[in-house]
Structure 1
Amino acid sequence: MSGRNDGRAFIGSFTSAGGRGIIHVAVDPDTGALTERGATDAVADPSFLTLAPDGSVLYAVSETDEGAAAAFTAPAGTGAGDGVPRLIGDPVPVRGSSPTHLTLTAGHLLTANYGSGSVTALSVGGDGGLLSATGVLRHEGGGPHPERQRGPHAHQVLADPSGRWILVTDLGTDSVRISSLDPASGELTAHGETALRPGTGPRHLAFHPAGGHAYVLNELEPTLTLCRWDAAGGVLEPVGEAPVLPDSADVASYASEVVVSQDGRFVWAANRGHDSIAVLALDATHEKAELVTTVPCGGTWPRDLVLDPTGRRLYAANEHSGDVTWFDLDPTTGIPARAGSIEAPAASCVIFG
């Protein structure tokens, strides 16, 4: 790399499937192109990542049966240094199995543990390193799918825009769980549960930028559930559904990630199997969505989608083809146009910062 001050991003991947762990990449501000700067496989299967608010520390789940989370130094996005993230302390057990997602809020790192159907809160030290688990909230229940819903499967955990509530999508129980986190003790307390249509298998959700609506992407049925969100009461209310695949689709497909445009006009969803990105247009109420089109994801099995900080480009982590592909977004239609890709074996997520 030259000395230009490009942005940076980090790619997570499955080491058990040939991935290189966490890959640090520079981002060209003009083209969106990614260039590798360093990688580490210090933890197994770092399938999802997040950054501290100041960008100095990178956190990863270790999606293994034992279940752990780890903190890393986050190299700067310039050409200086070797660009390799370094562990801060040892990985910390999450007291749950197969963590698939994590978020940082109120001085704690939270993980959604798919295998055990639970959510864990970990305390964070002054250096950004992880300390012990302060609370574990275990889900109960199941759903009609004979294999995928024999028990709870927490898949995503995130704070709502107000910072008051924690929302968790549970694929196994067809519901979104709402809880609160005590910043002082790190205890998690269940607050409510929103039931979705049985058998849909909610995987991830994303909030509208205005804060009053959320969109739940379902993995077991190719649909998006549109919801109102009441931050005052911590209540999520489903108000409708929209398809994320055309009627002509004739292949088994499992939706993975949902993204809302910065202007609140579009929703994008990744479809694994159909290997596409769905483009949905929201109406003025934010409560109805129309499937505009689907476009090829640039590879196979798109596990993650993310906007760059400008909101003008969309990046897809294509797990089975082993690449991250980026797209320029048409500001009028929201339709992505493929612009390039970088090799990233067993890619599972991309984050910017």
Structure 2
Amino acid sequence: MNGATGGRQGDWNRRRFAGAAMGVAALTVLPSPAAPPTAPSREPSPASGAAASPEPSAAGSPPGTPGAPQPSGSSGSPEPSGARPLFLGTYTSVDGGGSGIGLASYDPGTGRITRTGVLGGVADPSFLAVHPDGRTLYAVDERSSGAVTAIRLADRAILGRRATGGAGPCHVSVHPTGRWLLSANYGSGSVAVHPIDAKGRLGERTDLVTHTSPAPGPGQQGPHAHQFVTSPDGGHVLAVDLGTDTVYSYRLDGAAGTLTEVARARTRAGAGPRHLAFHPGGRYAYLADEVDDTFAVCAYDPDGGRLTIGAPQPTGTGGGGGVTNYPAQFLVSSDGAHAYLAGRGRNTLTRFAVEAAGARLRAAESVPVQGDFPRHIAFSPDERLLFAANQRSGTVSVFHVDRATGELELAGEPFASPVAVCALPL
């Protein structure tokens, strides 16, 4: 860990190796808007239109890019007829971890997963995202010298690697325009922007913003950016910071790739917000608070980018037997009727009925995930399957989703995948 983040190394290691920063529904009562923000620190922005990575060589690494990883170990079995691709994130630097991005396929009817290989040359790919055009995969390198890697899916060639400017990037997303990659550096509490060219390659970073205020919450040694996503209308990008108990809203300059903070919303002290998921209507979002084991329904103003966080609510149905749930993330169906919350402490998926046009969540049921520590959940493109990556058991559970009722049914035995921390079905 570099000097800027060395004091927070304990926080980061707990996240990576223990799997968590250890530390029913009612109508939402929305608080008053937060005070005007204090400008965060930022590095000087390079000129817009920075050159992107050059074309890859035949071996898959872009010439002239020092230390570019190679697509070693990318060969594997062809996908069965009718099967869909599945990419699996892991840690390569922990005991029992994987050796790269896991390559698999799944049957969209049965949910059965078949291993097809490993894409090597990518260290600690703990989170994955795909470009809107479906041609390029992006992976974080969650190490102290954080980076993001672009991979062309047609031949699994690595197109290049770019530094995120911070430590421990744990989340990455692609702006809906397909022109910008957004990454969150957990270890250093910063967010970064990289340009994406027409071939999916990454250019030099156009902005880096560190969350220097407010002060860290109880038990936190500094800021910990955990997620960086775009609002449904594409007008703003939002960064969820577990360390400062704050969600920051930025306006992204579509030409220069620079960020301007326009609002911020604070949870109660010590909540530890982790991940945010928007209702498709664009006026509400659901925030999972990892540390205090709650969630909140948030109102969202798309005009100003302001998020207003509602009252904290319990994360599941029934009693937890004294076990903290460590909620990981929400997943919302595209019709806006159902929301799902992964709970890593009780190893459950809780289904909520979405009511009042997104303003209210009603807990309907909690089902066992059949694994240990479900860190990431994702739908198949048709939303008939839900995948859960279980970090501690090293498995991926698959559930059939009843599109009408939202009910979940386990689709066979979980699939073994070393230190499974992300599952991305295409």
TM-score (norm 2): 0.77
The secondary structure found in structure 2 opposite 1:15 is coil
Q: Which amino acid aligns with 1:6?
A: A
Task: Return 236-245 or 57-66, whichever deviates more.
Answer: 236-245
Deviation sequence 1:184-223 (CA, Å, 0-9, x none): 2111111110111221111001111111111111101221
Residue in structure 2 matching 1:329, options 401, 404, 407: 401
How far is the alpha carbon of 1:3 from its aligned partner? 5.7
Residue from 359, 368, 373 that aligns with 1:296: 368
Q: Which residue of 2 aligns with 1:228?
A: 299
Quick one: distance in 1 between partners of 2:79 and 2:261? 50
Question: Is the contact made by 2:275 and 2:287 (CA closer than 8 Å) also made in structure 1?
Answer: yes
**Partner residue of 1:189 out of 256, 260, 281:** 260
> Could you state the TM-score of these two structures normalised by the residue count of structure 1?
0.92
Superposed, which structure 2 residues align to 1:37-186 within 5 Å?
37-75=116-154, 85-89=156-160, 91-105=161-175, 106=177, 107-140=179-212, 141-146=214-219, 149-186=220-257
Structure 1 residue 92: deviation in Å? 1.2
Q: 1:3 to 1:329 in 2, by over 3 A?
A: closer
Letter in 2 for 1:15: T
Q: 2:410: which partner in 1?
A: 338
The question of whether the paired residues in 2 share the 8 Å contact of 1:46 and 1:62 is answered with yes
Structure with higher strand content: 1
The DSSP-based 3-state class of the residue aligned with 1:43 is: coil
Distance change >3 Å, CA 125–CA 208, structure 1 → 2 = same
Counterparts of 1:261-276 in structure 2 under 5 Å?
Answer: 261-276=333-348
Distance 1:64 1:265 in 2: 38
Query: For the Cα contact (< 8 Å) 2:331–2:339, is it kept in 1?
Result: yes
Supply the distance in 2 between the matched residues of 1:4 and 1:332 (Cα, whole angstroms).
Answer: 28
Report the equivalent of 1:20.
99
Larger Rg computed on CA atoms = 2
**What is the Cα deviation at residue 2 of structure 1?**
6.8
Structure 1 residue runs of 4+, over 3 Å off? 330-333
Amino acid at match of 2:88: I
CA drift at 1:247:
5.1
From 105, 115, 122, give the equivalent of 1:36. Answer: 115
Equivalence for 2:85: 8
Unmatched tracts of structure 1, length 5 or more: 76-83
State whether residues 143 and 198 of structure 1, in contact with CA within 8 Å, keep that contact through their aligned partners in structure 2.
no
Deviates more, 1:198-207 or 1:2-11: 2-11
- Structure 1 residue 307 and structure 2 residue 386: aligned? no
Cα drift, residue 11 of structure 1? 1.1
Number of residue pairs matched?
Answer: 342
- Whole-angstrom distance in 1 between the partners of 2:377 and 2:364: 18
CA contact (8 A) 1:239 1:287 kept: no
SS in 2 for 1:129: coil
TM-superposed CA distance for 1:240, in Å, is 3.5
1:215 aligns with 2:294: no
Matched residues in 2 for 1:102 and 1:123: separation?
13
> The residue matched to 2:99 in structure 1 has which SS?
coil
1:206 alignment partner, one of 259, 277, 286? 277
- CA offsets per residue over residues 275-296 of structure 1, 9 Å max, x none? 1111122222422222222211
Contact 2:146 2:167 in 1 (8 A): yes
Gaps of 5+ in 2: 1-77
Q: CA deviation at 1:239?
A: 3.1
- Aligned CA distance change for structure 1 residues 336 and 20 (closer, same or farther; 3 Å): farther
Task: Give the secondary structure class of the aligned counterpart of 2:358.
Answer: coil
Contact 1:216 1:226 in 2 (8 A): yes
1:113-143 Cα shifts (integer Å, max 9, x gaps): 1111110011223432222111101112334
Q: State the identity %.
A: 37
Note the C-alpha offset of 1:167: 0.6
Contact kept in structure 1, 2:281 and 2:358, CA below 8 Å: no
